[in-house]
Amino acid sequence: MIMLLLSFLSASGCTGTSDTDDAPEQPDSPEPIPEGPEAEEEVEKGTGGNALASEPETVNSETTGQIQTLTVNITAEDQEYPAYISAPAEDGEYPAVVLIHSFNGLEQGYQDMADRLAADGFVVVAPQWQTYSRSPSDSGVEALVRSSINYLKNRDDVDPEKLGLTGFCAGGRYTMLFLPQVEEFKSGVAWYGFPYSGGTEVQPDEPASMIDQLEDPMLIIHGTRDEPSNISEIYRYAGELDAADKYFELKVYQGEPHGFMIKEGELSESFVAQDAYDEMVDFFNRTLSNPAPGNSSR
């Protein structure tokens, strides 16, 4: 089943750099805990074994509403990864999203996006998957994503039956790759991903090779002027999803380049960026709160 949304919008708010060019170097001996006071004691949460790395901070502004933010360490394969957390400040049980940043790292724009999602009623965890390697193995990133799920499932404010996945650039590829494999996720949003990237020692599988395993709805967001990930490959991927009778939605922005949501590390305020963000929120609201559409058997 297919829902195709084509928005031929004029190019605006283009990123100054692509996610694949001039990405910052990662340290050989990283410091897993980013800026912020360290907690005096560790907090064990499920399989992940997460250590509190900063105290929760309540933020209240006109743009975000009232949310709580903090940084935790999430353990995967005996290594600790810092992860940015943003959640609604009001008590309740909310849907949650794992956000996978681009190849440029966890830039401020992704933290701002997590804050906006929290203000819109989602608990968000954004793990820094490049902490120990600029290009880690797919298996290592998958382990980190699964540990991030364990962290979310052990929070009192998360509904464990309403978990979503989203990612950008390399994170878009991971969304396409992991959504079919990680059963806890109920839907995913892949931003300018790479469905045919793989076939190497550290990235053995192409996301497109996982289509038969996909049981959850996916929203694909892409720009027609994306040079690193040509739009023709996205149309090809969409065709294969449709042929396999997998439910997806495709939002295409005419004239937009790769990485159009983040400009020079900051969240773009362009009309296209806001529209694309709204598409993601609407998709998660529909697919995490209601039975999955299309052919999903879960």
**Over residues 80-101, mean pLDDT:** 98
Judge whether 30 lies within some domain: no
- The CATH number covering residue 189 comes to 3.40.50.1820
Judge whether 43 lies within some domain: no
CA distance 12 to 8: 12
Give the residue from 170, 214, 204 showing the smallest Cα distance to 190.
170
Judge whether 21 lies within some domain: no
Judge whether 297 lies within some domain: no
Judge whether 295 lies within some domain: no
Judge whether 199 lies within some domain: yes
Question: What is the CA 124 to chain-centroid distance, rounded?
Answer: 9
pTM equals: 0.81
Range of the domain at 110: 58-289
CA distance 211 to 12: 33
**Over residues 196-207, mean pLDDT:** 97
Judge whether 184 lies within some domain: yes
CA distance 123 to 96: 4
Q: What is the pLDDT of residues 171-191, one digit of tens each?
A: 999 999 999 999 999 999 999
Cα separation values, 177 from 6, 170, 174, 191, 252, Å: 24, 10, 5, 13, 20
Compute the C-alpha angle 143/155/95, nearest 5°: 85
Judge whether 73 lies within some domain: yes
The average confidence (pLDDT) of the chain is 84
How many independent structural domains does the chain possess? 1
